[in-house]
Structures are given as C-alpha cells and as structure tokens.
Amino acid sequence: MSTIRAFDEELNEVPAARPAFAPEQRSSALACLGAAYALSWIEFALMLAIGLPGDTSSHPVAASIVSRMLVGVLYGYVAWRLQWTRWLTVALGLLSVVLVAPTIAMQWQVFPAGAFVCGAALVCKLAASLYLLSPIPRVVPSAKHSNSDRRELCMEHGASIAYPRRFMTPGGTRCNEFETTIV
C-alpha cells in the first residue's frame, strides 16, 4: 500500500476522478485474451484432427489440455484485476510472440490452416499485452466523498482508491494523508 501526502491547500485542486486510461482498454484487453484462448483450443482441435505423427502414446496430449486450462485460469485472474497476473500475462504474451512468430512460416508450408489460427492467436496475445501495458488507473476522490462513494467511484473506473486521513505535522500544520489501495 503506497501513501501520498497532500496539504489542505492542494486538496481543493484535486479533481473528483481522473482515470489514467479509458475503461474500454481493459475490456479490449480481456476480449483479446478471450479470443487468444479460444484460438488456442481451435489450434488444439486442429492438431488432433490432422493426427499426431508417430506413436500417439508418446505425445503429451494431457499436458496440452492442462496447460490451456491453466492459462484460462490465469486470464480469469487478470479479469479479477490481480496485478501479478497482469504482468505475468504480459510477459507470457510477449514471450510467445517472440518465440512462436518465427515458426509460422514453416508451419504454413505444412498446414496453412494451423498457421493461420496460430498467427491470429499471436496477434490477439500481442494486442492484449499492449493493452495491459497501459498505465494503472488512479482515482483520487475529494474529501467530500464518503468511503462508500469512493469505492463506487473506483469500481466504476476500475481504479485504485485513496482514503484521506487528517493528521498534524510536528510543526503544527494540519495535513491530509491518502492511503491508496487497489480495488
């Protein structure tokens, strides 16, 4: 939890709400993650449809299913606004783009439909990563808002919230302190 200190004169200059980015960016990022997740299952179905080369018992089909399910859980936590999952999703998205994109040309020669689905999933992951890299919104409500109003305001913008506390400095100046928590 970070703390910001503000003097009483500065409180009047603070706007009621100032989100750092439009809420549409967050919903666009979640839509891109959902599309990438759906495309990964389509890619899995195409892999099963063309068959597995060699002995099918040696291929990790169960691991492919479990990994896709874990990624789905990770995307669910991103939707619940957990910061560590946001950064992990960005890192995994960018890493998958860097590692998989060079192989699409070879995949196109073998199975063009699979390459198309894989490329579309990479585009969705890259777009979601770029949306998730945008700054975290921050709402600093004025001192006139009650705690429930502040929480509603921040839930509306998907932002962090600042709760004011009054205190006296050692010099006798009355100040306000904001405790910021992420909603």
Q: Where are the domains of the chain?
A: 2-20+137-182, 23-132
Could you tell me whether strands 160-168 and 174-182 are parallel, antiparallel, or unpaired per DSSP bridges?
antiparallel
CA distance 70 to 40: 12
Mean pLDDT of 151-173: 53
Q: What does the mean pLDDT of the chain come to?
A: 75
Q: Where are the alpha helices (DSSP H) in the chain?
A: 8-11, 23-50, 61-79, 83-100, 104-110, 112-132, 147-157
pLDDT of residue 180: 46
Residue-wise pLDDT for 27-48, tens only, equals: 899 999 999 999 999 999 998 8
Asked if the model's pLDDT at residue 67 lies above 50, the reply is yes
Element (H, E) at 182: strand 174-182
More confident residue, 107 or 156: 107
Residue-wise pLDDT for 116-142, tens only, equals: 999 999 999 999 999 999 875 555 555
Strand partners, 166: 176
Question: Length of the chain, please?
Answer: 183
